[in-house]
Amino acid sequence: MQNLRQAATEAFHRLGLKQRHLGYEELSDLEDSNYTSEPQPHWFHTLQVRRLRVQRSRSNSDPLGGKSFEQEFQWKTGLQFGTATSYLNLEKLGEGAYATVYKGISRINGHLVALKVIRMKTEEGVPFTAIREASLLKGLKHANIVLLHDIIHTRESLTFVFEYVQTDLAQYMTQHPGGLHSHNVRIFMFQLLRGLSYIHGRRILHRDLKPQNLLISYLGELKLADFGLARSKSIPSQTYSSEVVTLWYRPPDVLLGSTDYSTALDIWGAGCIFIEMLQGAPAFPGVTDVFEQLQKIWAVLGVPTEENWPGVSELPNFKPEWFLPCEPQLFRNVWKRLGQLPYKTEDLAQQLLRAAPRDRISAQDALQHLYFNTLPPPLVHLRDTVSVFKVPGVRLEAEARDIFSPGRRIRPSLPLTKCW
């Protein structure tokens, strides 16, 4: 129970982070409250729901617990997309800055869905985040991007209907603490980069990569979600904010105040998530402000200079005298797990986590990295909308630790015959 409580606290932390697209001030508040006070009952309740869901996810290819839903429920013919009556709310899954997410079921076809109900203020109309998210997702059809099924727009409310995906990477890592199975990390990482390669090919930046925005299906399919901060970078000279990306996953150039960022922004986040999956702990965690965050990064990469990062001294927040002098470290000395794995793992991490954005590897090139050459070759040629799990031989391995079933290794993947 104690363990569970601990995990719960960590999960609150994550849920808390999810609450808003945080600036760093809010982040520090959360940090404090997390360790000094009990979690709020509201969150605890949410977690209970989530915990059940995670447990069930191991067999939730049959989401209704064995009952034959088809028999009990007559699908209504004549129901339309775009209307609220076509969906039933089942339970609340979480709350975000501008929306509440419910699990639901489509009365049109019986599919489980996630209903993202956007809060609308009469004064402000639809939040710009919602306008961007739906507008972008409407054009994105890829196995590693969450699918937007439908939009229900009435005078008072706006609801996005997404495909339902059981859990997210944050919860998955909470459930399997101490670092994930290296094989599974590879499969998740491949899918993350595949999704990024797809959106970057369309000149779209996600701008808010973090584990809780990476949904994980019961099979292990990873899907980029929450495009509320995303925007297209295709149009030159449009205005950009440097207040993007949750602090831990924010790249040094953006921390230094650059607004001239591009797809390399998301690559840094992918690198942080790579380390976090391997280590079981965030790569650059637990800081209160931009400068501390930068210091964390310099402690590993060294303080940048004009020689190794031309132009760095012109960035608004670059004040070398404020930083403690640091020498670059070997990644394996900082993150021990890398030392236990073949060198190509560390090499990929290094190419993702380069301080200067132009030195960071692109998603497309990263997919060709040696690190992935143990995966079945057909993966490279998959069509956009096809899941990597369609390729024979691709499946998740059992994680070493599972807080919900301690002491036994579980088989994560289920026979497909149970799929409905």
Partner 1 sequence: MMKHTNSWCQTPPSVTVRIKPTTARNLQLKRGLWLKRPNQQKGQGPPGKTQNSRGQEEALKAKLSCGPTLVIQRQEMAAFFKLFDDDLIQDFLWMDCCCKITDKYLLAMTFVYFKRARFSIREHTRINFFIALYLANTMEEDEEESKYEIFPWALGKSWRKHFPGFLKQRDALWARIEYRAAVSRRCCEEVMAIVPSHFLWQRERAEHHSGAQRQYGDRDEVQMPRGPSASPARCVLCAKDLGPSSSSSSSSSASSSPLPLAGSLSLETTPPRGPAPRRSCRRTNAQCSCCCTEPDSQKHCSPPGNKDDCGAGQDTSMDWINEE
- Which residues are part of a known binding site for ATP? 116
**Residue 228: closest CA among 71, 97, 66:** 97
Total number of residues that touch partner 1 (CB under 8 A): 63
Q: Identify whether 359 is a catalytic site residue.
A: no
Among 20, 153, 332, 401, binds partner 1 (CB under 8 A): 153
Binding string, residues 163-202; x marks residues near partner 1 by CB under 8 A: xxx-----------------------------------xx
| Interatomic CA distance for residues 199 and 142, integer angstroms | 9
185, with CB counted inside 10 A (0-12, 13-18, 19+), is buried
- Please report whether residue 83 would count as binding partner 1 according to CB under 8 A: no
| Interatomic CA distance for residues 363 and 361, integer angstroms | 7
- Please report whether residue 220 would count as binding partner 1 according to CB under 8 A: no
350, with CB counted inside 10 A (0-12, 13-18, 19+), is middle
Among 182, 259, 288, 350, binds partner 1 (CB under 8 A): 259
- Please report whether residue 246 would count as binding partner 1 according to CB under 8 A: no
- Please report whether residue 2 would count as binding partner 1 according to CB under 8 A: no
Cα torsion 50, 52, 56, 61 to 10°: value is -40
The residue among 182 and 387 lying less far from partner 1, judged by its C-beta, is: 387
> Computed from CA positions of residues 207, 208, 210, 214, in that sequence, does the dihedral angle turn out positive or negative?
negative
Helix (H) or strand (E) holding 232, with range, is strand 231-232
- Please report whether residue 97 would count as binding partner 1 according to CB under 8 A: no
The residue among 141 and 411 lying less far from partner 1, judged by its C-beta, is: 141
Cβ-based neighbour number of residue 411 at 10 Å: 11
155 with 139: CB under 8 angstroms? no
**Which of 59-67, 306-314, 317-325, 331-339 is the region at the interface with partner 1 (rule: CB under 8 A)?**
59-67
- Please report whether residue 67 would count as binding partner 1 according to CB under 8 A: no
- Please report whether residue 84 would count as binding partner 1 according to CB under 8 A: no
Among 12, 188, 190, 218, binds partner 1 (CB under 8 A): 218
Q: Which of 208, 226, 266, 402 is catalytic?
A: 208
Among 383, 406, 408, 415, binds partner 1 (CB under 8 A): 383
Q: Can you name the residues that pair with 111 across neighbouring β-strands?
A: none
- Extract the tokens encoding 274: 């790579």
286 with 338: CB under 8 angstroms? no
Cβ partners under 8 Å of residue 290, min gap 6 = 24, 247, 255, 317
- Please report whether residue 417 would count as binding partner 1 according to CB under 8 A: no
Contacting residues toward partner 1, per CB under 8 A: 60-61, 63, 80-82, 109, 111-113, 122-126, 128, 131-132, 134-136, 138-139, 141, 143, 147, 149-151, 153, 163-165, 201-203, 217-219, 221, 231-232, 234-243, 257, 259-260, 383-387, 390, 419-420
Catalytic residue numbers, as ranges: 208
